[in-house]
Amino acid sequence: MTKQLPEDIMKKAVKGIGYIAHPLRLRILEFLDVNGASSVSAIAKGVDEEQVIVSQNLKKLRGANLVKTERRGLFIYYDIYEEYPASIFFCIRRLFGYMTDDFYFLVDGYKAILPRDYTTMVANRIKLFANYEKMRILEYLVLNGESRVSDIAAGINSEPLKVSQYLKRLRDDAFVVARRDGRCVYYSITAGVHKTAIECIRKRYDGLKNKADF
């Protein structure tokens, strides 16, 4: 059976995904993913936001090791720090392609700015599950399929009552669905950015030779 990610790795993933659960920060990272290293003024123009606000958010992204800087003469250029944010955009572009039947977004390596309302929706959806316990539950369901509360609780080393409470929230937000079979209730993960994010995080971790680089 495939093991869940180590606790420290999942906590890093939750922290990183929590920072991008913000419409403007997600659009900034998207701009850098599409256009490469850019100055603050170019980013501000690209995301249609005031330069001072973009600078503030870039500082937060840099503090979270999601962007890096390079000085070129008088100017400082920002770029995505590592593969993780880029892999998220690869996944949400494919999700957009499936949702809209837009073939171009299903082509490997294709990069383009997504519609602003879609990016905002993605950021707001990410915010709802950017929590350690919720992501542990979602990961368990990705790996094991339909499961009972007791199985999930044992699998993620948590209390059944706490797992039930989180499952209710996840169900209310349409991240999981429930099926009753006699006295037992079985939960399974739905398709969407939440499942895509879990799969991306695991793919990145599995692809690293040195897991400490996550």
Look up residue 184 and give its two tokens.
Answer: 């037992």
CB 83 within 8 A of CB 65: no
pTM for the complete prediction? 0.82
- CA-based nearest residue to 153, from 133, 177, 171, 173: 133
Closest C-alpha to 14, from 151, 157, 194, 159:
194
C-alpha count within 13 angstroms, C-beta hemisphere, residue 147: 22
Q: Residue ranges of the chain with pLDDT lower than 70?
A: 1, 82-86
CB 194 within 8 A of CB 174: no
Q: How many CB atoms lie within 10 A of CB 60?
A: 13
Q: How far apart are CA 180 and CA 60, in angstroms?
A: 44
Q: At what angle do helices 83-100 and 7-19 cross, to 10 degrees?
A: 70
Q: Are strands 184-189 and 75-80 parallel, antiparallel or unpaired?
A: unpaired
DSSP helix, strand, coil percent of the chain (3-state; round to 5): 65, 15, 25
CB 70 within 8 A of CB 79: yes
Spatial separation of the C-alpha atoms in residues 55 and 40, rounded to whole Å:
7
pLDDT of residue 1: 56
d(CA 57, CA 196): 25
Alpha-carbon distance values, 161 to 4, 152, 164 (Å): 21, 11, 5
Cα–Cα nearest to 140, from 128, 153, 122: 153
**Residue 134: CA atoms inside 13 Å, Cβ hemisphere, count?**
23
Residue showing tokens 């709802």: 128
pLDDT 10s digits, 20-65: 899 999 999 999 999 999 999 999 999 999 999 999 999 999 988 7
Please tell me the predicted confidence (pLDDT) of residue 83. 63
